[in-house]
Structure 1
Amino acid sequence: MGVAIDASCDLPQAFLQEHDIAVMPIVVRIDNETFLDDRSPAETQRFLDQKLGTRSHSAETEPCSVEDVQKLFLDHLVLQRDCVFCLTITATRSPINDHVIKASFAVLKHYREVRDQAGIAGPFLMRVIDTRTLFAGTAPVIVEAIRLIQAGETPAAIRERLTHIANNAYGYMLPRDLYYLRARAKKKGDRSVGLFSAMLGSALDIKPLLRGYRGDTSPVGKVRGFEHGIEVLFDYTAKRVRAGLLVPVVCISYGGDLAELARLPGYDRLRAACEESSVELMEAPMSITGMVNVGEGAITLGFAAEEHVAEF
């Protein structure tokens, strides 16, 4: 069994390589530049080096098409695996989940002839899971998928468990630039960040703390200043870690140099809480797609926990 994700699922590159996780890429076009967002460190660094963050709100993004998903599976994955779990960011914010579901019909129709030609016996299974959250918020679902596969669980049991984790996966986002966030929202026809709110927030340095949860992305709090906001988010997460998580992992993705994370206020306390609770603290570069949508320098953070009221 194996796992495939879309490129906007934020996880460390080392984790993806260790567990041979396939990545469904996203094409990003900014002015005359084209980037293939496949979580390649070199491509992400090229985006950062060209300092495209301030104008990438006008970017055009093309998620992996139905045809591209079919090709990835029929050319590679059906020959390498007997069962693949496809995990995507929430279907309410991206068409990629719909593309993968549509592609699965053709894959399941044609896989047998591909495997027969290669001398591979037995059926092939493809299961699509909507993580119902965004960016680093998808990490607990993906980490749990790997754990269950390694534990030898059945596909049915894995799917049931991953659906439960997806329903309890929390993805938090803190942007640096409200004007950028509004410009990107306007580009996508999303009215969630109004001009007045952006102007007022920027003038007072008040930023929304956004949450992706069960398919809904909306503000759950306001903080004054980016660094103060990060401290509030890290301290809140440390509290949730001590209360107990459904999957022993917290993932942070950052739209910049990961070396800056450890210097942010509250990070040491979060790391200490994770160590005390035997929870892995992952650091991942934000995908190019994530930076285009939330803004360079933004942070997203994900964990899975029983349903609770956000207290900010």
Structure 2
Amino acid sequence: MRIGLVVDSACDLPSHYLQEHAISLLPIAVRIGDTTLVDRRDEAATLEFLHAHVAERGHEAQTTPFPVQEIHDLFLQRLVIDYDHVFCMTIARSRSGIYDNATQASYAILNDYRPVRAAAGYDTPFALRVIDTQNLFAAQGVAAVEAVRLRAAGEGPPKIRARLEHLALHTHGYMVPPDLYYLRNRARAKGDRSVSLLSAALGSALDIKPVLHCNRGETGPVAKIKGYEPAVRRLFEHVAARVEAGDLLTPTLCVSYGGELSALRLLPGYEALREACAARGVEWFESVMSLTGMVNVGKGAVVVGFAAEGQKFEG
């Protein structure tokens, strides 16, 4: 059976990995003022746009998920011919409309695919499953990498579906944002009151940085640490300890950064975490954060994603 994989452009994995494993992309449109860029995970274009716009006006950006009709057309024009079963893995439903759009489109796709496949010489059924990864950015990549592994091992759709849905419950995304004012202004622009002006002002005045944790679609702080680099170091140390303890459910660690990867590699704790992954046979994926991610959390944000049961962050 030919199994296809689809992610949205907020899923932080290296572009070459997506291309090598034929992972299709649902783009997200990002508009700041009169400038619009379709986020297709082009790292060079993302960095150029970042330096030109995001630092100044990124919190004003409007992000638009791939529309229902365009998802429908993408599948009927290509995916229902190229594959027999497709898994579409999206950013957390609690944070974006992409899951709902893909689900709505799936109903029409399953009604309309038969003549398209018949014209291409296929008389077998087509199936589509939309999976809510219940996480964000680098943490979305954990499910996609596992889907690639299972497909390569020859596993069928029922096992892949069960595994991805299980991982969604146990995937952890951690983030250190460098600028609480940016995060607060961005949240306010989206109508999200989770970051108050007072907490942003206090955090900036005292140089306190939160370590944010996302699991099962819910995001909140698990630690508050003085200084951006000490916060990143503590995050990397926490993840390294889980890797060394053999806690990970998949041999995968995904890291993304809101800027040049050369800057990420200079952050304290980075090398120790890489060494822990190498020693334990955990595959390391690092990428420039998507434009979608950067306009939502700010330049310089660090995100780490992995799957493990339970979580306790020692701040």
TM range (shorter): over 0.9
Counterpart amino acid of residue 201 in structure 2: M
Counterpart position of 1:37: 39
1:220-235 superposed matches below 5 A = 220-235=222-237
Counterpart position of 1:65: 67
Cα distance, 1:51 vs structure 2: 4.1
Counterpart position of 1:118: 120
Cα distance, 1:57 vs structure 2: 0.3
Alignment partners' CA distance in 2, 1:42 and 1:242: 34
Q: 1:27 aligns with which of 26, 29, 39?
A: 29
Question: Under a length normalisation based on structure 2, what TM-score does the superposition of the two structures give?
Answer: 0.97
Please tell me whether the aligned partners of residues 27 and 61 of structure 1 are also in contact (alpha carbons under 8 angstroms). Answer: yes
1:288 maps to 2:307: no
Counterpart position of 1:75: 77
1:262 maps to 2:271: no
Counterpart amino acid of residue 132 in structure 2: D
Please tell me whether the aligned partners of residues 53 and 291 of structure 1 are also in contact (alpha carbons under 8 angstroms). Answer: no
Cα distance, 1:48 vs structure 2: 2.4
Q: For each residue in 1:247-282, what CA deviation from the matched residue of structure 2 results, as whole angstroms up to 9, or x when unmatched? A: 111111011001112211011110111011011111
Counterpart amino acid of residue 104 in structure 2: K
Cα distance, 1:309 vs structure 2: 2.3
Cα distance, 1:225 vs structure 2: 1.0
Cα distance, 1:310 vs structure 2: 2.5
Alignment partners' CA distance in 1, 2:269 and 2:129: 38
Alignment partners' CA distance in 1, 2:175 and 2:67: 27
Residue 223 of structure 1 aligns to a residue in which SS? Answer: strand
1:3-22 superposed matches below 5 A = 3-22=5-24
Q: For each residue in 1:46-98, what CA deviation from the matched residue of structure 2 results, as whole angstroms up to 9, or x when unmatched? A: 31241432311001111001111101101111111111100001101111001
CA RMSD after TM alignment: 1.0
Q: Which runs of 5+ in 2 are unaligned?
A: none
Please tell me whether the aligned partners of residues 255 and 305 of structure 2 are also in contact (alpha carbons under 8 angstroms). Answer: yes
Aligned length: 312
Identical residues among aligned pairs (%): 52
Please tell me whether the aligned partners of residues 54 and 298 of structure 2 are also in contact (alpha carbons under 8 angstroms). Answer: no
Q: Which runs of 5+ in 1 are unaligned?
A: none
1:113-192 superposed matches below 5 A = 113-192=115-194
Question: Under a length normalisation based on structure 1, what TM-score does the superposition of the two structures give?
Answer: 0.98
Alignment partners' CA distance in 1, 2:187 and 2:124: 46
Tell me whether 71-80 or 195-204 shows the greater mean CA deviation: 71-80
Alignment partners' CA distance in 2, 1:285 and 1:147: 23
